[in-house]
Amino acid sequence: MHNENSDNTGKLRQIIEGKLNSFYGRTLDNASEEEIFQAVALSLRDRILERAAKAGEEIARRGMKTLYYMSAEFLLGRALVGNMISLGVLDQYRAVLDEIGYPLDRLEEQENEAGLGNGGLGRLAACFLDSLSTLNMPVIGSGIRYEYGIFRQRIVDGKQVEVPDDWTAKGDVWSVERREEQVEVRFEGTVEEVWAEQGLTVHHTNYQSVLAVPYDMPVIGYDSRTPATLRLWRAECPSFDLESFNKGDYSCLVQQRELAETISKVLYPEDNHIAGRMLRLKQYYFLASATMQHMVREHKKRYGDVRTLPDKVVVQINDTHPAFAIPELMRILMDEEKLGWDEAYGIVSRIFNYTNHTVMQEALEVWPEQMFKALLPRVYAIVAAISDRFSERLRKAFPGDWDKISAMSIIAHDEIRMANLCLAVCNRVNGVSQLHGEILQTRTFRDFYVISPEKFVAITNGITQRRWLAAANPALCGLIHDYIGGGFLKDSRELERLKPLADNPAFIADFARVKAQNKRCLAEHVKKTQGVALNPDTVFDVQAKRLHEYKRQLLKVLHILYLYNRLTEDASFSLPQPVTFLFAAKASPAYHRAKSIIHLINAVAALVESNPRTREAIRVQFLENYNVTLAERLIPAADISEQLSTAGREASGTGNMKFMLNGAVTLGTMDGANVEIFERVGPNNIFIFGARAEEIARMERDKSYDPKKIIDANPDVKAAVSRLVDGSLPGVDAGQFEDIYRSLLTSNYDPADRYFVLYDFDSYREVFDTVMKAYADRTAWTRKAVLNTAGAGFFSSDRTVAEYNRLIWHLESL
**Where in the sequence numbering do the catalytic residues fall?**
357, 545-546, 551, 654, 658
Q: Characterise 315 by phi-psi region: left (phi > 0), alpha (psi -120 to 50), beta (else).
A: beta
**With respect to ligand 26W, which residue has the nearer C-beta, 282 or 515?**
282
3-class DSSP state for residue 641?
A: strand
- Least distance from ligand 26W to the Cβ atom of residue 186, Å: 23
- Least distance from ligand 26W to the Cβ atom of residue 662, Å: 17
672 belongs to the binding site for ligand 26W (CB under 6 A): yes
**With respect to ligand 26W, which residue has the nearer C-beta, 124 or 523?**
124
Determine contact, residues 414/373, Cβ cutoff 8 Å.
no
Determine contact, residues 731/603, Cβ cutoff 8 Å.
yes
476 belongs to the binding site for ligand 26W (CB under 6 A): no
Show the CA angle centred on residue 236, arms to residues 232 and 240, nearest 5°. Answer: 155
x/- contact string, 313-342, with ligand 26W (CB under 6 A)? ------x-----------------------
How long a stretch of residues is the chain? 814
Q: Write the CB contacts of 193 (distance below 8 Å, at least 6 apart in sequence).
A: 200, 201, 202, 203
x/- contact string, 238-277, with ligand 26W (CB under 6 A)? --------------------------------xxx-x---
- Least distance from ligand 26W to the Cβ atom of residue 284, Å: 9
Rg of the chain, C-alpha, whole Å: 27
**With respect to ligand 26W, which residue has the nearer C-beta, 158 or 653?**
653
798 belongs to the binding site for ligand 26W (CB under 6 A): no
**With respect to ligand 26W, which residue has the nearer C-beta, 76 or 651?**
651
3-class DSSP state for residue 731?
A: coil
Which residue, among 413, 353, 421, has the nearest Cα to 390 in the 3D structure? 421
**Residues in 171-200 that interact with ligand 26W by CB under 6 A:** none
Measuring CA to CA, how many Å separate 9 from each of 4, 91, 471, 638?
Answer: 9, 10, 21, 36
803 belongs to the binding site for ligand 26W (CB under 6 A): no
String of DSSP letters for 291-348: HHHHHHHHHHHHHS-GGGHHHHEEEEEESSTTTTHHHHHHHIIIIIT---HHHHHHHH
**Residues in 351-370 that interact with ligand 26W by CB under 6 A:** 357-358, 363
| Residues in a beta bridge with 196 | 199
654 belongs to the binding site for ligand 26W (CB under 6 A): yes
**Binding range to ligand 26W, per CB under 6 A, among 120-128, 451-459, 520-528, 769-777:** 120-128
Q: Write the CB contacts of 303 (distance below 8 Å, at least 6 apart in sequence).
A: 63, 312
Which residue, among 306, 319, 323, 295, has the nearest Cα to 379 in the 3D structure? 323
**With respect to ligand 26W, which residue has the nearer C-beta, 443 or 499?**
443
Instruction: Give the CA count within 13 Å in the CB-facing half-sphere of 59.
Output: 27
Per CB under 6 A, the list member of 77, 82, 119, 663 interacting with ligand 26W is 119
**With respect to ligand 26W, which residue has the nearer C-beta, 523 or 657?**
657
**Binding range to ligand 26W, per CB under 6 A, among 49-57, 108-116, 119-127, 706-714:** 119-127
* DSSP-H helix ranges across 426-473: 434-439, 446-451, 465
**With respect to ligand 26W, which residue has the nearer C-beta, 283 or 391?**
283
666 belongs to the binding site for ligand 26W (CB under 6 A): no
**With respect to ligand 26W, which residue has the nearer C-beta, 271 or 549?**
271
121 belongs to the binding site for ligand 26W (CB under 6 A): yes
x/- contact string, 427-466, with ligand 26W (CB under 6 A)? -----x----------------------------x-----
**With respect to ligand 26W, which residue has the nearer C-beta, 120 or 536?**
120
- Least distance from ligand 26W to the Cβ atom of residue 171, Å: 28
* DSSP-H helix ranges across 433-498: 434-439, 446-451, 465, 474-484
651 belongs to the binding site for ligand 26W (CB under 6 A): yes
120 belongs to the binding site for ligand 26W (CB under 6 A): yes
214 belongs to the binding site for ligand 26W (CB under 6 A): no
Measuring CA to CA, how many Å separate 383 from each of 140, 335, 367, 410, 448?
Answer: 26, 14, 12, 8, 18
Measuring CA to CA, how many Å separate 226 from each of 51, 190, 230?
Answer: 7, 44, 13
- Least distance from ligand 26W to the Cβ atom of residue 419, Å: 11
3-class DSSP state for residue 196?
A: strand
**Residues in 18-57 that interact with ligand 26W by CB under 6 A:** none
Tell me which long-range contacts 765-773 makes (C-beta under 8 A, separation of at least 24). Answer: 765/559, 765/562, 765/716, 766/689, 767/667, 767/687, 767/688, 767/689, 768/559, 768/667, 770/687, 771/640, 771/665, 771/667, 771/687, 772/539, 772/575, 772/576, 772/577, 772/579, 773/576
- Least distance from ligand 26W to the Cβ atom of residue 132, Å: 16
642 belongs to the binding site for ligand 26W (CB under 6 A): no
Per CB under 6 A, the list member of 214, 322, 653, 707 interacting with ligand 26W is 653
- Least distance from ligand 26W to the Cβ atom of residue 255, Å: 27
**With respect to ligand 26W, which residue has the nearer C-beta, 394 or 644?**
644
Q: Write the CB contacts of 159 (distance below 8 Å, at least 6 apart in sequence).
A: 595, 598, 599, 602
- Least distance from ligand 26W to the Cβ atom of residue 548, Å: 8
**Strands, sheet with 411-412, edge to edge from the N-terminal-most edge strand:** 366-368, 415-417, 411-412
Distance CA 724, CA 740 (A): 8
**With respect to ligand 26W, which residue has the nearer C-beta, 128 or 562?**
128
**Number of residues in contact with ligand 26W, rule: CB under 6 A?**
21
**Binding range to ligand 26W, per CB under 6 A, among 501-509, 651-659, 766-774, 775-783:** 651-659
652 belongs to the binding site for ligand 26W (CB under 6 A): yes
536 belongs to the binding site for ligand 26W (CB under 6 A): no
Distance CA 376, CA 374 (A): 6
- Least distance from ligand 26W to the Cβ atom of residue 582, Å: 20
- Least distance from ligand 26W to the Cβ atom of residue 458, Å: 12
Distance CA 407, CA 444 (A): 11
Determine contact, residues 70/118, Cβ cutoff 8 Å.
no
Per CB under 6 A, the list member of 130, 335, 639, 650 interacting with ligand 26W is 650
Determine contact, residues 133/227, Cβ cutoff 8 Å.
yes
**With respect to ligand 26W, which residue has the nearer C-beta, 519 or 545?**
545
Q: Characterise 672 by phi-psi region: left (phi > 0), alpha (psi -120 to 50), beta (else).
A: left
Give backbone dihedrals phi and psi of 241, rounded to 5 degrees, phi first: -95, 115
Nearest position to ligand 26W, beta carbon? 120
- Least distance from ligand 26W to the Cβ atom of residue 672, Å: 5
- Least distance from ligand 26W to the Cβ atom of residue 638, Å: 18
3-class DSSP state for residue 187?
A: strand
Measuring CA to CA, how many Å separate 386 from each of 331, 352, 382, 416, 809?
Answer: 12, 15, 6, 12, 24
**Binding range to ligand 26W, per CB under 6 A, among 61-69, 113-121, 409-417, 722-730:** 113-121
Residues near ligand 26W, by CB under 6 A: 118-121, 124, 270-272, 274, 319, 357-358, 363, 432, 461, 650-654, 672
